[in-house]
Structure 1
């Protein structure tokens, strides 16, 4: 048996704002953008070269979800973007104005830096050791 996590829901204030950042700034691929009902869409994005896990950009619905935007993990790093070339991606992200919360560092598990999306979610950019 094979199972995978096919998508992780990520709350955003607006679908198009999410697309502007993840596709426009980070360079993710738009996998699907399907209207389900008026004001509701199924929007999947994924990093270049990713073949399994996607982000489902979920527009916050109601005040409870709006308050959770950017804090789905209580302030911890939420998502981990693994790369095969840290320096290339760090430079490209820096050129796009990505907000880094620290300087890159080397850890036993690899080279890493924490960045934050415009919605408040913390990410690790990691090149494994």
Structure 2
């Protein structure tokens, strides 16, 4: 049966800009950066979670046909490309402040939720990112 998720894919419009954002601002590390046939296979991962990489993929063949690539790029730009990443942190307020200091546009302040404290923002391509400081489940 299935054991783990090894790679999650996000559509990005510019892989170099994506590298700057995910590596330079969010603290990911490059795992793979190679030309793979007609595409650049570019994966990044958090140093604390190297087993789960994010493929920063341009909407182009072979992932989508040339005929619909423009439509997918338009949807990505509008934040409707379906890309979502959910992260946990030990301190939502401290993480929010650190990301803001790095120049990331953070339209939401950390908010207390039933499951913890969280906030959200978007990458430069419209993909949704949420960060949560999880409340420990009650002990019985």
Task: Specify which structure has the higher proportion of strand.
Answer: 1
Residues 13-92 of structure 1: pairs in structure 2 closer than 5 A? 13-37=13-37, 40-61=39-60, 62-69=69-76, 70-73=79-82, 78-92=84-98
Give 1:79 deviation, angstroms.
1.5
- Contact kept, 8 Å, 1:111 with 1:128, in 2: the verdict is yes
Q: Which runs of 5+ in 2 are unaligned?
A: 61-68, 136-140
Across the aligned residues of Structure 1 and Structure 2, the Cα RMSD in angstroms comes to 1.8
Contact 2:18–2:124 (Cα < 8 Å) also in 1: no
Q: 1:90 and 1:3 mapped to 2: Cα distance?
A: 32
**Alignment-derived partner of residue 9 in structure 1:** 9
Runs (4+) off by over 4 Å: none
Equivalences, count: 125
5+ residue gaps in structure 1?
Answer: none
SS of the residue 2:23 aligns to: helix
TM-score, normalisation: structure 1: 0.86
What's the CA shift for 1:101? 2.3
Bigger Rg over Cα: 2
